[in-house]
Amino acid sequence: MNSSPHNFSERHLKQAIAWFVCLQSENCQTNDTTRFEQWLAQKPAHQAAYQEAERVWGNLDSLKQLDNVPGLAAARSAKQPRLAKRLLTNVALILAFGITWAGWLDYSAQTQTFVTDSDARRHITLADDSQLDLNVNTRLIAKITPFRRIINLEQGEALFTVIHEPLRPFSVTVNRLQIHDIGTQFNVQVGPAGVDLAVLEGEVELNDGGTVNHQRLLAGSRVSYREGQGLSTALPAQKASITAWLNGELMFKKTPLRDVTAQLERYHPVHFVFADPELANQTLSGTFASKDLMPFLHALETMLPVQVAQEGGQVILHRATKK
């Protein structure tokens, strides 16, 4: 690593120190090492910052070995209870000040609100370089502090691609459910019935203070969460299907019609009504443009025993009569 030690930001140095501490820990896992190597390779600034963290640590280690500093040996061997007591008092004051200052920094960090309407998606890069993609009709509040990264997804859908920082956790709150990142890419959708979560890379830890406690969800898995009921059984998550909305598409595979119509209602100012409730259990497979309602309705009549009638803002689905 030959990058200049000055060619990095304070944030990069904090990340480097966090990684340095993580790698020295007895709890360091193989996946931590892999994520560190990925982080290191992302930017020359990361390499420069980590080199500086190593240099500072090396200087501290060298200082411990010095014996020719005038008065150092005497200071090491001297027993001065008053000085020791005074030193402990000063350290306690410094720690108290540091905790207070840290609390103030955390409290005073700026909160940002991101909103999309029914016509546009949005891509966001947070201050920590984590990436967010917001689907239509989404509202999200983000607070990035020196010690925590807190996201509140109030409505809609978002894809999170998180920069892993061991000493600065990243969490997403949706209703009562808390999603804690563990080096991850995951998709969260908020609907009237609850929350749908799919992990595409890494893993997350889930808590709601009740039925869900420190449950982990691994890459390639998806679950639904309903308040008071907890998590559904984990099912396989297909990345192409989960992220189709990034390209303005909806991809279904044997999806119940009730769920299909709920998706369409997010994109269009209509409400679907099942004249025959049993039609809601019919399943649909295929890929459709999320913004084109009429082609979807025509396809629905062709693929399923459904007849469509529109009355104002309602789309009524009748069972088609046999010819």
Q: For the domain that residue 220 is a member of, what is the CATH number?
A: 2.60.120.1440
User: Is pLDDT at 189 greater than 80 in this prediction?
Assistant: yes
Residue 306 forms part of a structural domain: yes
- E strand or H helix at 14: helix 10-24
Percentage of the chain with pLDDT > 70?
Answer: 79
User: Same domain, yes or no, for 14 and 73?
Assistant: yes
Higher pLDDT, 118 or 282: 282
How would you classify the pairing of strands 235-236 and 221-226? antiparallel
Can you tell me the distance from the alpha carbon of 54 to that of 52, in angstroms, rounded to the nearest whole number? 5
Residue 151 forms part of a structural domain: yes
User: Same domain, yes or no, for 257 and 164?
Assistant: no
User: Is pLDDT at 228 greater than 90 in this prediction?
Assistant: no
Identify the pLDDT of residue 62: 46
User: Is pLDDT at 82 greater than 60 in this prediction?
Assistant: no
Identify the pLDDT of residue 200: 96
Can you tell me the distance from the alpha carbon of 184 to that of 131, in angstroms, rounded to the nearest whole number? 11
- Least reliable range by pLDDT among 48-57, 77-86, 304-313: 77-86
User: Same domain, yes or no, for 217 and 276?
Assistant: no
User: Is pLDDT at 66 greater than 80 in this prediction?
Assistant: no
User: Same domain, yes or no, for 232 and 262?
Assistant: no
Identify the pLDDT of residue 1: 45
How would you classify the pairing of strands 283-289 and 177-190? unpaired
Which of 166, 213, 170 lies closest to 31 in space, CA to CA? Answer: 166
Write the CB contacts of 308 (distance below 8 Å, at least 6 apart in sequence): 297, 300, 301, 315, 316, 317, 318
Q: 296: which 2 tokens?
A: 């979807």
Range of the structural domain that residue 210 is part of: 111-239
Residue 1 forms part of a structural domain: no
157 touches 122 (CB < 8 A): no
User: Same domain, yes or no, for 147 and 198?
Assistant: yes
**Mean pLDDT, all residues of the chain:** 83
Residue 180 forms part of a structural domain: yes
Identify the pLDDT of residue 103: 52
Can you tell me the distance from the alpha carbon of 6 to that of 11, in angstroms, rounded to the nearest whole number? 13
User: Same domain, yes or no, for 219 and 122?
Assistant: yes
User: Same domain, yes or no, for 116 and 231?
Assistant: yes
User: Same domain, yes or no, for 134 and 44?
Assistant: no
Residue 84 forms part of a structural domain: no
pLDDT, tens digit, 9 for 90 and up, residues 2-52: 444 457 787 787 788 777 777 776 667 777 788 888 889 998 989 988 887
User: Same domain, yes or no, for 149 and 169?
Assistant: yes
Identify the pLDDT of residue 106: 55
User: Is pLDDT at 212 greater than 50 in this prediction?
Assistant: yes
User: Same domain, yes or no, for 279 and 313?
Assistant: yes
Identify the pLDDT of residue 108: 56
Report, as an integer, the average pLDDT of 288-305.
Answer: 93
Residue 89 forms part of a structural domain: no
pLDDT band with cut points at 50, 70 and 90 for residue 156: very high
179 touches 217 (CB < 8 A): no
pLDDT, tens digit, 9 for 90 and up, residues 230-262: 999 999 999 999 999 999 999 999 999 999 999
Fill in the DSSP letter of residue 244. Answer: G
User: Same domain, yes or no, for 131 and 191?
Assistant: yes
Residue 106 forms part of a structural domain: no
What's the domain count of the chain? Answer: 3
Report, as an integer, the average pLDDT of 60-84.
Answer: 49
40 touches 3 (CB < 8 A): no
Identify the pLDDT of residue 63: 43
User: Same domain, yes or no, for 117 and 74?
Assistant: no
C-alpha dist (Å) from residue 102 to 9, 14, 31, 111, 172: 20, 14, 30, 17, 22
